[in-house]
Structure 1
Amino acid sequence: MNLLHTILAFVVALGTLVVVHELGHYWVARLCGVKVLRFSVGMGRVVWSRRFGRDQTEWAISILPLGGYVKMLDAREQDVADIDPADLNREFTRQSVWRRIAIVAAGPLANFILAILLFAGLYMHGIPEPVARLRAAEPQTLAYQVGVRGGETITAINGEAVHGWSDLRWKLMQLALEKTTARMDVERAGPAGSKRIDTIVLPLDSLSAKDLESDFLTRLGLSLARPPAILGKIMDGPAQRAGLQSGDLILDVNGVAVKDGLALVELIRASPGKQLELHGVRAGQDFRIALVPDTQEDNGKTIGRIKVEVPLAPEMTVISDGPLTAIAKGAQRTWDTSMLTFKMIGKMLTGQVSWKNITGPITIADYAGQTARIGLVSYLSFIAFISISLGVMNLLPIPVLDGGHLLYYSLEILTGRPVSERFGEIAQRAGLGILMTLMLVAAFNDIVRLMF
């Protein structure tokens, strides 16, 4: 069932992005007066088609589901000798270079517009987010060295407001790529329940390319605050037999302080069959209870269990905005994501970031399934990010992609004449080779992720 769910989520996401991209080309081509012969979702042999409109444009579904295309009246691809003279002026290559640029750029632009609209819709609807509150940092981490002790709420980074945990992660990722410093405004508890704002200076130049490929926040020592280790429902097992009760607050285990519920869970899981002495508070009174966690196999690992629920959900907030603010934030998020993607590509080319970050359809399908299972907000956010990636990818100056054609037309503007057919053929073959190489790298990375 999960596989079917993943496939369906992937098909819906990919189909939406392909249709939007090609509609961008189609609408602007029609606006510029170019005759469109076929609009295809998918590549290769046509398996279904119908003709509509004054031009009898063929709307088709093709056998290979990855991609799509808009076929226009084009002298480079077909003999126009027998074409009605009235249609010759609607042939693609006879259009001005600026019209050709508009038609080609419209596909990626449509993907960016879709992302803006999706983000704006999500911001207007309201996005549930964990509050940007920090867990106590380990002493050996950079976060501890600069003053993170736990319980701090990040309110701003380098003067920009932080609205939630993903916003915090996003801003730090951008600064980490630039290897610059983050000045974090943090809200801390003061005396008598008051609040105070301090500034923590966090240098990010120590992060390596390998760190950025993993959970770089953990590498820095920054993690999401969790609720205290207060016990929930007690089930039949070691906890119940030892006399633990719902509502007990666990302070330490075997003399080791327990900073939150997650730390308690991790400690118990790491102690199968070992005697543990729990020190806690119940109704204002200290207590000490000894117990031995049961031994259980979990995905090939031996773990300890005491059969008690421990709430781990972080404090949440809902981020929502009015229409104008939401559109502005959607546009800003789309721009920032696009620039970050271009920077990542540049760092891959210079060896600063691993090519392992290139993903293919298998990984995308997996993420589509995961986000769809989480909920509509996560799934639409995923589609927005993939739409941006598709737009950026198509703008790369690689022949056979939209960016390659834009490069040709830019050279035509600079030189005053179109690129030669010979140059175009060589570039086309080179571009196809580059594209095939990228696809092979993506497929290899997908298989490695699947296996390991």
Structure 2
Amino acid sequence: MSILITLLAFALAIGVLVTVHEYGHYWVAKRCGVKVLTFSIGFGKPLLRWQRGETQWQLAAIPLGGYVRMLDEREAPVPVAELDRAFNRQTVGKRMAIVVAGPVANFLLAIFVYWAIFLNGVDVLMPKLGSIEPHSLAAKAGFSVGDTIVAIDQESINSWAEARLGLIERAAAKASVQVEVLRPNGAAVSRTLDFAEIDNEWIDGELAGRIGMSIAVYRNEIGPLLPDGAAAAAGLKQGDKIWKVEDKPTPDWPSFTAAVRARPNLPTRVSVLRAGQPLEFQVLPKSVQEGDQTIGRIGAAPVLDMDAMHALSKSMQYGVVSALGQALHQTWATSSLSLKMMWRMVLGNVSVKQLSGPVAIAGYAGKSAQYGLRAYLEFLCLISISLGVMNLLPVPVLDGGHLMYYFAEILRGRPLSERAMELGQRVGVGLLAALMVVAVFNDLTRLVGG
């Protein structure tokens, strides 16, 4: 059933985003007086087609994209009576407007959907740290349980989502960042995180956890166990209250996991309370490679303290105008972060392993759909923004590549030669093919590794 949901969620997302993108091109082309011959959702052999006015609309076999084909002398002879409606005969300004309309439509879709979400009211998680992993980057910087993040490099932080994005952006820049926090006693203090030597593969959505900070508040007990894990083999059970590891008290889940991680392949005494009675077990943590470290794992998951987590949630209500302001801000912030991450990837500050292909995107679509309508709509916004940003990159074949040609035409006073544009197209196709190979390889690696 989950596979079916994933496929349907992915197909719906791609269908909506491609339709919106291509309709942007179509709508502006019609307003500029250009004749649109074909509006296709998908590539390859048409599965369904119908004629509406002078345009043939169709659904094609390969659903990973679409196109709008316009009257153009470079593609086929154009009757003299329709020369003024050919795309190539339009002014450079009109051609630029038609090309940029696709990405703009994707940004407008994201703004509209975000506006609807904010107008309906949203629940956000406050950036109050519920756990700090011992010996982690966050612990070394002085962060403590109960700290509430209020600013990052003097930029106000109002939610955990904003804090995570702010940290990712600074980590990608390999920068030293000042984080202002409020202690539980109300004191305001500053913490410094130095990302200069951080592993490039850490810079993703899980960065906060990788550096040892989380808003999650865990109960000090054993959660679900892997059937073939070391904890289950030793006799530990779900619900056991964590007490000590090797006679060292472990008063919370982070201290327990830190003690276990430090003992790969070493016999370890774990003391728990079961129904109020103290019990001791001999556990052999499995040796696991994590980056350049060898750590121990016993196959036990934590248990969230749901009362504490609910206390972190805050409801935010917006009016029509303020919701639009939030939507614009969210779209701009996401677009800006996407561009910065792409540039950092070019510089080598972010691993190319962060690239995702259709398999990963389909997985995200399925998961978000199962989490509910709002999660799926937020996923739709994120992919729509990513599609808009990617298409504006100055790469031949993409919309941004065509804009680059038109800017060159303005500077030169005449269009680029057919030879130059053909060469650019080949380079663009090669670059996109290489990126797709890397993205699909990453997808398969995650699939096999997961």
TM-score bracket, normalised by the shorter chain, equals 0.7 to 0.9
Superposed, 1:428-447 pairs within 5 Å as 428-447=425-444
Give SS of 1:205's match: coil
| Structure ID, larger Rg | 1
Q: Contact 2:180 / 2:188 at 8 angstroms: preserved in 1?
A: yes
Q: Contact 2:46 / 2:61 at 8 angstroms: preserved in 1?
A: yes
Shift of 1:124: 2.6
Residues 123 and 181 (structure 1), Cα distance of their counterparts in 2 relative to 1, 3 Å cut: farther
- Separation (CA, whole Å) in 2 of partners of 1:219 and 1:231: 21
Residue in structure 2 matched with residue 206 of structure 1 by the alignment: 197
Residue in structure 1 matched with residue 45 of structure 2 by the alignment: 45
Q: Which range is displaced more, 43-52 or 97-106?
A: 43-52
TM-score under structure 2 length normalisation: 0.83
Give CA-to-partner distance per residue, 1:359-412, whole Å, 9 cap, x none.
211111111111111222221111111111111111122222111110110001
- Equivalent of 2:408 in 408, 411, 430: 411
Structural RMSD (CA): 3.7
Shift of 1:302: 9.7
- Equivalent of 2:168 in 173, 187, 190: 173
Paired AA for residue 202 in structure 1: L
Paired AA for residue 43 in structure 1: F
Superposed, 1:322-341 pairs within 5 Å as 322-341=319-338
Q: Contact 2:169 / 2:340 at 8 angstroms: preserved in 1?
A: no
Q: Matched residues, percent identical?
A: 41
- Separation (CA, whole Å) in 2 of partners of 1:10 and 1:445: 18
Residues 267 and 354 (structure 1), Cα distance of their counterparts in 2 relative to 1, 3 Å cut: closer
Q: Contact 1:116 / 1:330 at 8 angstroms: preserved in 2?
A: yes
Query: What is the aligned residue count?
Result: 425
Residues 159 and 125 (structure 1), Cα distance of their counterparts in 2 relative to 1, 3 Å cut: farther
Could you tell me which runs of 5 or more consecutive residues in structure 1 were left unpaired when the two chains were aligned.
233-243, 296-300
Give SS of 2:385's match: helix
Q: Segments of 4+ in structure 1 off by > 6 A?
A: 248-251, 262-271
Q: Contact 1:371 / 1:382 at 8 angstroms: preserved in 2?
A: yes
- Separation (CA, whole Å) in 1 of partners of 2:16 and 2:162: 26
Q: Which range is displaced more, 374-383 or 262-271?
A: 262-271
Q: Which range is displaced more, 327-336 or 35-44?
A: 327-336
Residue in structure 2 matched with residue 222 of structure 1 by the alignment: 213
- Equivalent of 1:400 in 376, 380, 397: 397
Give SS of 1:77's match: coil
Residues 255 and 224 (structure 1), Cα distance of their counterparts in 2 relative to 1, 3 Å cut: farther
Give SS of 2:390's match: helix
Residues 384 and 259 (structure 1), Cα distance of their counterparts in 2 relative to 1, 3 Å cut: farther
Residue in structure 1 matched with residue 72 of structure 2 by the alignment: 74
Q: Contact 1:136 / 1:150 at 8 angstroms: preserved in 2?
A: yes
Shift of 1:101: 0.3
Residues 257 and 327 (structure 1), Cα distance of their counterparts in 2 relative to 1, 3 Å cut: farther
Q: Which range is displaced more, 129-138 or 357-366?
A: 129-138
Q: Contact 1:44 / 1:63 at 8 angstroms: preserved in 2?
A: yes
- Separation (CA, whole Å) in 1 of partners of 2:116 and 2:158: 17
Residues 213 and 168 (structure 1), Cα distance of their counterparts in 2 relative to 1, 3 Å cut: closer
State whether structure 2 residue 54 is matched by structure 1 residue 63: no
- Equivalent of 2:313 in 304, 314, 317: 317
Superposed, 1:253-268 pairs within 5 Å as 255-260=247-252
Residues 260 and 225 (structure 1), Cα distance of their counterparts in 2 relative to 1, 3 Å cut: farther
Could you tell me which runs of 5 or more consecutive residues in structure 2 were left unpaired when the two chains were aligned.
224-236, 285-295
Q: Contact 1:226 / 1:260 at 8 angstroms: preserved in 2?
A: no
Paired AA for residue 65 in structure 2: G
Shift of 1:319: 4.8
Give SS of 1:172's match: helix
Q: Contact 2:133 / 2:213 at 8 angstroms: preserved in 1?
A: no
Q: Contact 2:245 / 2:268 at 8 angstroms: preserved in 1?
A: no
Give SS of 1:189's match: coil
Residue in structure 2 matched with residue 390 of structure 1 by the alignment: 387
- Separation (CA, whole Å) in 1 of partners of 2:100 and 2:437: 26
Residue in structure 2 matched with residue 235 of structure 1 by the alignment: none
TM-score under structure 1 length normalisation: 0.82
- Separation (CA, whole Å) in 1 of partners of 2:86 and 2:282: 76
Residues 257 and 302 (structure 1), Cα distance of their counterparts in 2 relative to 1, 3 Å cut: closer
Residues 122 and 251 (structure 1), Cα distance of their counterparts in 2 relative to 1, 3 Å cut: farther
Give CA-to-partner distance per residue, 1:314-364, whole Å, 9 cap, x none.
344145333322222222222222222222222333333222222211111
Residue in structure 2 matched with residue 239 of structure 1 by the alignment: none
Give SS of 2:85's match: coil
Shift of 1:433: 1.9
